[in-house]
């Protein structure tokens, strides 16, 4: 396990590094490199003053769990007084009127919001190229896409602009960029983290999650943002486990599930080879057993996902009518957003009742049942994160389905409502490749422990 | 660095022709996906949401006096304490 964030937390708490110094360091890096990377759209001008207040709390001995850490926030999560533009011209002048539940939780634990991160427009993308504020570059593989839609959040972590970052994941929008940028990403279970304050893409699938440099940082932020909220009726009651402490309990004797279908779906076989090698290494080190599992209909994940997203996105965007929040969306958005709105409008019509959305719901249910059955036999399921390496920025992709294919491995977890995370597994041609771990709903403890063990095995990459 | 200063690039889709093209493309994709999903048609009953909780306990949210002020600041057209909405414009 990497101890980067754990050491940072300790250094701040013991005064070897002040919160203000930590924030100043990141602000310096942003000023130096953000022009090229374009990960951060807005800097919190009060960040240093807020850090100085935290330093006083540390001296007084009453600082929170995130004391002095810098957190970047994806631009579709509401922060009071900061632009929540969703990477779109539609909301270019919209400023948050309240703190999302996750932001309030971070502030309560003395984390510092360092700024707002770039993203694919309204989270409708997998490459980080569709923001109205320009594409984000991949700091780990310059010239290539960082992945999306939480492109700025992943790039900000990878570039050293923050300690951790918030993102949102509807079909892979945290895990896909985590893999491409070589960082850790977590999509918590549906209902684990409140979505109050998130500008929705598809409310039955959306989940706020995070990106970090290491599994410890991911565990720490997961603990802080998890829990029941009166503002989000999908959140579940019950005590949130202390995830960072549980990482010390080493994963061993597990049953690891691999699915044959995942190998077929991998268009770049080198990726599957690298993942299989990492799984073997992990199984040997933890005396775990590898088992083949069946996940029926998982190959239909993309086909089930997009009708749900088109319809729910169309419905969700009706509020952007130009009255309350800025411009009318159809008159100010980019291609992919408009495609989804027009498609959603078309298939929402009464005469199509049952043809698209209901069929997709059936497939969703079957995929969910497949995972429930698989988790009776294994503790976790492992897969690649994306079937191909990130393309070069600006590559012309005319068929939207080619872009949709990036999320073939990540969408199933959203459809099933389970938790999933990505941890770096190695590199191919100098480009990072992430390994995806999927665990049962509300099984974040086992998810994080497995990710920590894999991180430990790959400490040299 | 303030997003108010960073101006978005011109990504807006212009023209009825482009809209038509995107609409057709979306419909083609959805038809293709619906065809692929035919294989699950008879595989399961109706999908539904199952929940154990039907009532929520807890305190009602308190209103925030500053909220209206912040909300109105975002509205392009307003009059007094109200957002101006034009009939038939949507």
Q: Which residue of B has its CA nearest to A132?
A: B8
Q: Where are the domains of chain A?
A: 4-457
- Count, residues in chain B: 90
Decide if the complex's ipTM is over 0.85.
Answer: yes
Instruction: Single out the catalytic residue among A2, A8, A19, A74.
Output: A74
Please judge whether B34 and A92 are an interchain contact, meaning their C-beta atoms are less than 8 angstroms apart: no
Q: What distance in Å separates the CA atoms of residue A310 and residue A85, rounded to the nearest whole number?
A: 20
Nearest to A304 by CA among A370, A356, A374, A373: A356
Task: Write the CATH number of the domain with boundaries A4-457.
Answer: 3.90.1300.10
As given in the structure block, the two tokens for residue A198 are 């998130």
Q: Which DSSP string corresponds to A52-80?
A: HHHHHHHHHT---TTTT-EEEEETTB--B
Name chain A contacts of B64, Cβ cutoff 8 Å.
Answer: 98
Name chain A contacts of B84, Cβ cutoff 8 Å.
Answer: 323
- Residue A156 is predicted with a pLDDT of 98
Going residue by residue through chain A, which has 461 residues, state the pLDDT in tens, using 9 for 90 and above.
Answer: 567 899 999 999 999 999 999 999 999 999 999 999 999 999 999 999 999 999 999 999 999 999 999 999 999 999 999 999 999 999 999 999 999 999 999 999 999 999 999 999 999 999 999 999 999 999 999 999 999 999 999 999 999 999 999 999 999 999 999 999 999 999 999 999 999 999 999 999 999 999 999 999 999 999 999 999 999 999 998 899 999 999 988 888 999 999 999 999 999 999 999 999 999 999 999 999 999 999 999 999 999 999 999 999 999 999 998 888 878 999 999 999 999 999 999 999 867 777 899 899 999 999 999 999 999 999 999 999 999 999 999 998 889 998 999 999 999 999 999 999 999 999 999 999 999 999 999 999 999 999 999 998 876 65
The reply to whether B22 touches chain A by the CB within 8 Å rule is: yes
Residue for token digits 């992430």? A434
Residue numbers of B between 70 and 89 with CB closer than 8 Å to A: 70-71, 73-77, 83-85, 89
- Residue B3 is predicted with a pLDDT of 42
Angle of CA points A70, A76, A77, to nearest 5°? 55
**Residue A118, phi-psi category: left (phi > 0), alpha (psi -120 to 50), beta (remainder):** beta
- Residue A322 is predicted with a pLDDT of 85
- Count, residues in chain A: 461
Q: Which DSSP string corresponds to B34-61?
A: HHHGGGGTTTS-------S--S--SPPP
pLDDT category of residue B90 using cuts at 50, 70 and 90: very low
- CB A91 within 8 Å of CB A84: yes
Q: Is the pLDDT higher at A30 or at B11? A: A30
Average pLDDT, chain B: 74
**Residue A172, phi-psi category: left (phi > 0), alpha (psi -120 to 50), beta (remainder):** left
CA trace torsion A208, A209, A211, A216 (10° rounding): 150
- The structure's pTM equals 0.91
- Residue A254 is predicted with a pLDDT of 96
Active site residue A149: yes
- CB pairs A-B closer than 8 Å: 171
Residue for token digits 């602009």? A161
For B50-76, what is the mean pLDDT? 70
Q: How many CB atoms lie within 10 A of CB A461?
A: 13
- Residue B11 is predicted with a pLDDT of 63
Give the C-alpha distances (Å, rounded to integers) separating A250 from A85, A419, A454, A455, B47. Answer: 42, 19, 11, 12, 39
Give the C-alpha distances (Å, rounded to integers) separating A200 from A121, A206, A222. Answer: 12, 7, 20
Q: What distance in Å separates the CA atoms of residue A37 and residue B59, rounded to the nearest whole number?
A: 44
Cis peptide before A215 (omega within 30 of 0): no
Name chain B contacts of A30, Cβ cutoff 8 Å.
Answer: 1
């Amino acid at each position: 396990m990497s101890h980067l964030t754990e050491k940072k937390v300790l250094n701040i708490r013991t005064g070897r590094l002040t919160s203000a110094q930590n924030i100043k360091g990141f602000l310096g890096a942003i000023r130096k490199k953000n022009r090229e990377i374009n990960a951060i759209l807005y800097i919190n001008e009060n960040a240093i003053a807020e850090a100085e207040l935290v330093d006083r709390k540390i001296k007084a001995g009453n600082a929170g769990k995130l004391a002095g850490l810098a957190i970047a926030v994806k631009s579709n999560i509401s922060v009071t007084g900061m632009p929540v533009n969703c990477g779109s011209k539609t909301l270019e002048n919209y400023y948050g009127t309240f703190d999302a539940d996750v932001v309030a939780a971070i502030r309560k634990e003395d984390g510092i919001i360092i700024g707002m991160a770039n993203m694919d427009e309204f989270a409708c993308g997998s490459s980080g190229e569709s923001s109205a504020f320009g594409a984000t570059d991949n700091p780990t593989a310059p010239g290539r896409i960082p992945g999306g839609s939480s492109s700025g959040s992943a790039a900000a972590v990878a570039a050293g602009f923050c300690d951790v970052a918030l993102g949102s994941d509807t079909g892979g929008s945290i895990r896909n960029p985590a893999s491409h940028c070589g960082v850790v990403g977590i999509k918590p279970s549906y209902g684990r983290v409140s979505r109050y304050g998130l500008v929705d893409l598809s409310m039955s699938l959306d989940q706020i999650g995070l990106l970090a440099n290491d599994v410890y940082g991911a565990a720490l932020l997961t603990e802080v943002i998890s829990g029941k909220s009166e503002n989000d009726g999908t959140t579940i009651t019950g005590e949130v486990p202390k995830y960072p402490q549980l990482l010390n309990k080493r994963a061993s004797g597990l049953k690891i599930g691999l699915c044959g279908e995942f190998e077929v779906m991998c268009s770049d076989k080198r990726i599957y080879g690298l993942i299989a090698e990492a799984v073997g290494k992990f199984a040997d080190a933890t005396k775990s057993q590898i088992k083949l599992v069946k996940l029926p209909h998982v190959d239909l994940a993309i086909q089930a996902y997009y009708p749900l997203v088109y319809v729910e996105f169309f419905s969700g965007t009706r509020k952007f009518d130009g009255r309350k929040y800025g411009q009318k969306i159809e008159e100010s958005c980019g291609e992919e957003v408009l495609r989804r709105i027009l498609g959603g409008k078309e298939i929402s019509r009464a005469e199509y009742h049952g043809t698209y959305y209901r069929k997709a719901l059936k497939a969703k249910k079957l995929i969910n049942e497949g995972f429930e059955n698989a988790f009776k036999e294994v503790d976790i399921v492992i897969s690649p994160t994306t079937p191909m390496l990130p393309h070069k920025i600006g590559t012309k992709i005319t068929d939207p389905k080619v872009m949709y294919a990036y999320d073939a491995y990540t969408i199933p977890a959203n459809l099933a409502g389970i938790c999933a995370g990505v941890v770096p597994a190695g590199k191919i041609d100098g480009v990072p490749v992430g390994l995806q771990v999927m665990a049962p709903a509300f099984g974040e403890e086992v998810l994080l422990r497995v990710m920590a063990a894999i991180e430990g095995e790959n400490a040299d990459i | 660095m303030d997003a108010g200063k960073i101006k978005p690039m011109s990504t807006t889709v212009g023209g009825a022709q482009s809209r038509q093209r995107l609409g057709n493309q979306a419909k083609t994709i959805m038809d293709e996906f619906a065809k692929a999903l035919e294989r699950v048609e008879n595989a399961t009953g109706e999908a539904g949401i199952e929940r154990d909780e039907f009532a929520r306990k807890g305190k009602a949210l308190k209103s925030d006096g500053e909220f209206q002020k912040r909300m109105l600041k975002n509205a392009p057209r307003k009059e007094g304490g109200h957002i101006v909405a034009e009939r038939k414009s949507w």
